[in-house]
């Protein structure tokens, strides 16, 4: 089983990588939340190209949460309790106290819990799926070539991408992609008292506000936390009222793949299909409160054709139409197998940590064995 996942951005999409300093057109520094990028060599343009990506880890994380929700909802319905340890082992793949398990334990956990079997948990149980990063399709018409600066020119005029090219032994990135744009967000409630406008803010207003913020940041760094300064804090504005964030424009198509490292059982594949269907209703990426991350999906079996199509209503982004084309996986096969298994869910399927050995238990056993040998 290999699934090809296409999604097309309907609203701006952002997946946070880091917050860094960039220069605007006037050469002034500003803090910007950057999106994920990858640099590839493109033979068509004979150069290195920097492109936005959506990471496979981000998609896996969302897929894990949707799978876990299906099991947890049934557990609540049946009155099954779950320990904190098992909750995080399943929903977050967490569990630093659990390292590699013995083969028989791995197989037993995989038989009991399909979420952990499919996606693994910490270093204890390996997952069966690989999710690639999602790369943009048909990006060449959106490429632009960086203007190279003379070595004697002021380095403050260079772009952030060029500032990274400090070694003559490293090939230069020739092209950027205009899929990546930038937007400034503000907390309007914090700004209203400082401007003559009630709802609309000009670029000049925002620039003045940024200057106020920078001034207050410098004052805060230089002043001691004395009783005299306590009264000033109540009148200070929130430093985070301005957010410069990069995003991927609407209308960009991304492609990634979900592949098996080990064959999935019918129950596991049924869960995967149901989780993918539920996932299409969710925001993808970060900053959803700002409208980031609504996408359309087309999911295919590489061999068997379309599996799932999910499209939002252009007049109402909250409405979505799901089309299932899962003839190979219909109710006589994977979906019904999983639903039957789910209807019989037991506590042992959720609370699997009791059959796993933690690092503390292994240390205790090793210490006990060492003491016995000494005696």
Write down the pLDDT at residue 205. Answer: 61
Q: pLDDT grade, residue 143 (50/70/90)?
A: very high
Mean pLDDT confidence for 225-237: 49
pLDDT in tens, 294-339: 999 999 988 878 889 999 998 898 899 988 766 555 545 888 899 9
d(CA 240, CA 205): 16
Write down the pLDDT at residue 236. Answer: 44
When comparing pLDDT for 185 and 4, which is higher? 4
- pLDDT higher than threshold 80 for residue 54: yes
Mean pLDDT confidence for 249-256: 95
| CB contact at 8 A, 149 and 165 | no
Write down the pLDDT at residue 52. Answer: 92
- pLDDT higher than threshold 80 for residue 213: no
The whole model's pTM is what? 0.75
Write down the pLDDT at residue 317. Answer: 86
Dihedral sign for Cα atoms in the order 211, 215, 216, 218 = positive
Contacts 24+ apart (CB under 8 A), 121-125: 121/89, 121/90, 121/93, 121/94, 121/95, 122/89, 122/93, 122/94, 122/95, 122/96, 122/98, 123/98, 123/99, 124/89, 124/95, 124/98, 124/99, 124/100, 124/356, 125/101
In terms of phi and psi (left: phi > 0; alpha: psi -120 to 50; beta: otherwise), the region of 282 is beta
Task: List the structure tokens of 40.
Answer: 């590839």
Q: pLDDT grade, residue 363 (50/70/90)?
A: low
- pLDDT higher than threshold 50 for residue 30: yes
pLDDT in tens, 55-66: 999 999 999 999
Mean pLDDT confidence for 124-146: 92
When comparing pLDDT for 209 and 368, which is higher? 209
């Amino acid at each position: 089983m290999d699934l090809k996942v296409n999604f097309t951005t309907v609203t701006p999409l952002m997946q946070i990588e880091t917050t860094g300093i960039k220069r605007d057109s006037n050469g002034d520094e500003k803090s910007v939340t950057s999106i994920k990028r990858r640099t590839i060599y493109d033979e068509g343009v004979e150069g290195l190209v920097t492109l936005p990506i959506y990471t496979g880890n981000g998609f896996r994380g969302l897929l894990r949460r949707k799978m876990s929700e299906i099991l947890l909802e049934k557990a609540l319905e049946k009155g099954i309790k779950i320990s904190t340890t098992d909750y995080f082992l399943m929903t977050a793949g967490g569990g630093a106290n659990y390292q590699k398990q013995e083969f028989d334990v791995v197989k037993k956990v995989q038989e009991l819990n399909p979420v952990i079997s499919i996606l693994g948990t910490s270093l204890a149980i390996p997952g069966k799926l690989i999710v690639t990063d999602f790369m943009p399709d048909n990006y060449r018409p959106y490429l632009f070539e960086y203007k190279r600066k003379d070595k004697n020119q002021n380095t403050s005029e260079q772009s952030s991408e060029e500032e990274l090219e400090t070694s003559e032994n490293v090939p230069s990135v020739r092209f950027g992609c205009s899929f990546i744009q930038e937007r400034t967000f503000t907390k309007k409630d914090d700004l209203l008292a400082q401007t003559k406008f009630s709802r609309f803010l000009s670029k000049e207003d925002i620039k003045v506000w940024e200057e106020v913020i920078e001034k207050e940041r410098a004052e805060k760094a230089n002043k001691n936390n004395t009783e005299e300064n306590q009264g000033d804090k109540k009148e200070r504005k929130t430093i985070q009222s301005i957010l410069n964030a990069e995003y991927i424009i609407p209308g960009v198509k991304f492609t990634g793949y979900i592949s098996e490292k080990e064959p999935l059982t019918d129950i596991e594949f049924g869960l995967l299909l149901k989780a993918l269907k539920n996932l299409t209703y969710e925001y993808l990426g970060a900053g959803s409160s700002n409208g980031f991350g609504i996408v359309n999906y087309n999911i295919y079996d590489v061999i068997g054709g379309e599996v799932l199509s999910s499209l939002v209503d252009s007049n109402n982004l909250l409405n979505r139409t799901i089309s299932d084309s899962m003839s190979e996986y219909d109710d006589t096969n994977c979906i019904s197998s999983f639903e039957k298994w789910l209807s019989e869910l037991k506590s042992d399927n959720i609370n699997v940590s009791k059959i796993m050995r933690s690092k503390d238990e292994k240390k205790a056993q090793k210490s006990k064995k060492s003491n016995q040998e000494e005696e």
